[in-house]
Chain A
């Protein structure tokens, strides 16, 4: 039996509709927002935290975003003061990416096809 929507196909569809960068930001932000900030710290992917005790300049940002999603402002500020600007900037960036995608990629696609078959009676200024 043939699957209609393989994971590869689904990913291709997603990428045709939204830019990859926006998908990654939104996915990351929602994962951090859903994370429980009170859980024990198990493992960090950050190479700085393996080597230094003080951690890297971004340490606590994830926790900050999780506290922000729960409305705990003092805890958010304590874990990383840049959590609010980070969320605002990333969402702003996603908006711009979606706008760009809509404006140019769609336009490029339609124009590319049009350019291949120019109408025979097109004047000098016509597309």
Chain B
């Protein structure tokens, strides 16, 4: 029973409760390994907030590129963040964008470590 709170106290509440479900049945060693890989792959909501704000003064859509949404990033870039509407939406929504990206990364780390989504004792077993 590993606790993510001790390993990564800087996670957002939503993210923490999701990652905790993944880490729950790992040994301490596995949880440490998971935390060190996951830490390097996740994105901070603050980074998304700052790059969204850049959209008001110049280049829009950096935040969408950062979370791997290339299509929407290009659309934002060429339309001035959908005439600022998209930029304002992302300003409100930046935590959710980060959460979405981080959940996907956590799943990938699980797949890397245990060779299947959901990890040991996951949905496949």
Binding site for B on A (CB under 8 A): 19-21, 24-25, 28, 45-48, 56-59, 61-62, 80, 82, 85-86, 89-90, 92-93, 100, 104, 108, 111-112, 115, 124-127
| Secondary structure of the B contact surface, majority rule | helix
Q: Which of B18, B69, B79 contacts A61 (CB 8 A)?
A: B79
- The number of chain B residues touching the other chain, given as a range, is 20 to 34
Binding site for A on B (CB under 8 A): 14, 17-18, 20-21, 24-25, 69, 71-72, 75, 78-85, 89, 92-93, 96, 100, 103, 120-121, 125
| B21 engages A21 (CB within 8 Å) | no
Known: A58-B80, A58-B81, A82-B79. A20 touches B25 (CB 8 A): no
| Secondary structure of the A contact surface, majority rule | helix
For B103, the closest partner residue in chain A by CB is A104
| B89 engages A46 (CB within 8 Å) | no
| B121 engages A20 (CB within 8 Å) | no
Kindly provide the distance from the CB of A53 to the nearest chain B CB, expressed in whole angstroms: 16
Q: Which residues of A contact B79 (CB under 8 A)?
A: 57-58, 61, 80, 82, 86
